[in-house]
Amino acid sequence: MSFWEKLSKMDNRIIYTALLVIMIWALIWPMGLPIQIGTSAKAAYETFDSFESGDILYVSFDYDSAGATDIQSSIEACMRLVLKNGGRVVSGALWPIGAQQANYAFKKMQEEYPHLVEGVDFLNLGYKPGGQMYIEKAMDSLIEACANVDNEGRNLSQFPIMKDLVTLKDAKVVICGNHGSPGASEWVPMYATAYAIPNNKPFVVAASAVNATINAPFIQSGQITVYLNGIRAGAEMELLTEKKGTAVSGMDAQSLSHILVFVLMILGNVSYFMQKRESRKQ
């Protein structure tokens, strides 16, 4: 077997090790490459910075802990901005584990803003099955869509925040944290197209990077007004809200891993052409 053939059939474990080493390297010794703030993050910042005292943000945690690596930092930055301006946040989840992600985010917000009171400033409605049907129902009555219980099984009517959020239409903005289905593909027809866009309200999606291609048509058509794409958007939002976190620290590792893929692509192609040349000679 020639050198080029060996190279093209390189053991996967060598590639895995190289990737692991460079990612650990970047996380321990970050290079601090400059992160440019994109137009989407700026638009998101303007949208949430416009919240006034009493305005309600509805966040749908439609992802699990795996999607959280890409999405959670964007969502938390948006919630932080809203709560800083005196706004309120209500969360739901179309994914079972999304309810836990919401608890996680609210716990963090409570640490940052200790004055927040559950049921007054924020509330986690929890996981609600049904996907598209839940959204459709929540457009008429949130309490009915939630079977009148929050994440802990408590009666929703007792919470002051729910008096101002009778339907989803009462939320100033809805964000969907999207890692698959149900997610943006359900929110776009049932909420954005049916209500938000005709009423000039923004519809924000914070999605894991793998969903970028599938959501692109909705962004171009204006059905998704603000799109926060993957950990990159999370890093930009963290910079804008001046609260650096895991997203900013992960960007160098992302850059280096992309460079490794690029180098491997070049090696793969060089070995391919050299093998072709060798076989032609023979």
Partner 1 sequence: MYRRTIPFIISIVIGLSYILSGALPEISAWKNLLDKWFQISTAFAVLIGAISLSMVHFRNLRRPERLIYSTTLIIALYGTVVLGLIQTSKGELYQTWYNMTIVPLEAAILSQIAFYITTAAFRVLRMRSLEASLMLIAAVFVMFYNVPVGAAVWQGIPVIGKWLMDIPNTAAMRAITMGAALGASATAIRVFLGLERSYLGGGE
Partner 2 sequence: MPIFEGQLITMIAQLILAATIFALLRRSRSGERLPKIRRLAGLDAIDEAIGRATEMGRPTIFGNGSGGLNSAQTIASFSVLEYAARSCARYDTQLIAVSYVASVYPVMEAIVRTSYLELGKGDSYDPVNTVRFIASGWGASASALQGTMRRERVAACLFMGSYYAETTMITEVGANLGAIQVAGTANTAQLPFMISSCDYTLIGEEFYAAGAYLSKDDVQKVNLVALDYAKAITVIVIIIGALLATFGDASHLKNFLNY
Residues lying near partner 1 in the complex (CB under 8 A) are found at 10, 12, 15-16, 19-20, 23, 33-36, 64-69, 97, 99-100, 103-104, 126, 128-130, 133-134, 136-137, 147, 151-153, 209, 212-214, 216-217, 219-220, 229-230, 232, 251-252, 254-262, 264-265, 267-269, 272-273
E-assigned strand segments in 141-221: 173-178, 203-207
Instruction: Determine the Cα angle at 195 with ends 94 and 183, to 5°.
Output: 20
Q: What is the closest distance, in whole angstroms, from the C-beta atom of residue 129 to partner 1 in the complex?
A: 4
Between residue 181 and residue 200, which ones bind partner 2 under the rule CB under 8 A? 181
Query: Residue 94: which of 69, 121, 118, 58 has the closest Cα?
Result: 58
Selection from partner 1, partner 2, none that 211 binds (CB < 5 to 8 A by kind) is partner 2
Q: What is the closest distance, in whole angstroms, from the C-beta atom of residue 74 to partner 1 in the complex?
A: 14
Question: Helices 230-240 and 65-84 sit at what angle, rounded to 10 degrees?
Answer: 20
**From candidates 88, 172, 179, 232, binder to partner 2 by CB under 8 A:** 179
Cα 282 from Cα 279, distance rounded (Å): 5
Instruction: Determine the Cα angle at 32 with ends 28 and 38, to 5°.
Output: 130
Selection from partner 1, partner 2, none that 153 binds (CB < 5 to 8 A by kind) is partner 1
Cα 248 from Cα 7, distance rounded (Å): 35
Q: What is the closest distance, in whole angstroms, from the C-beta atom of residue 70 to partner 2 in the complex?
A: 10
The residue (of 43 and 194) whose beta carbon lies closer to partner 2 is: 194
The residue (of 154 and 201) whose beta carbon lies closer to partner 1 is: 154
32: left (phi over 0), alpha (psi -120 to 50) or beta: left
Cα 108 from Cα 266, distance rounded (Å): 44
Query: Residue 94: which of 22, 156, 168 has the closest Cα?
Result: 168
Pair of tokens at residue 104: 């996680």
Considering only 85-93, 148-156, 203-211, 244-252, which stretch makes contact with partner 2 by CB under 8 A? 203-211
96 binds partner 2 (CB under 8 A): yes
How remote is the C-alpha of 241 from its chain's centroid? 16
Selection from partner 2, partner 1, none that 180 binds (CB < 5 to 8 A by kind) is partner 2
Selection from partner 2, partner 1, none that 80 binds (CB < 5 to 8 A by kind) is none
Cα 173 from Cα 169, distance rounded (Å): 9
Considering only 20-28, 112-120, 136-144, 211-219, which stretch makes contact with partner 2 by CB under 8 A? 211-219
Cα 135 from Cα 237, distance rounded (Å): 27
208 binds partner 2 (CB under 8 A): yes
In DSSP terms, which residues pair with 118 in a beta bridge?
122
Selection from partner 2, partner 1, none that 37 binds (CB < 5 to 8 A by kind) is none
Residues found near partner 2 in the complex (CB under 8 A) = 12, 64-67, 96-97, 179-181, 208, 210-214
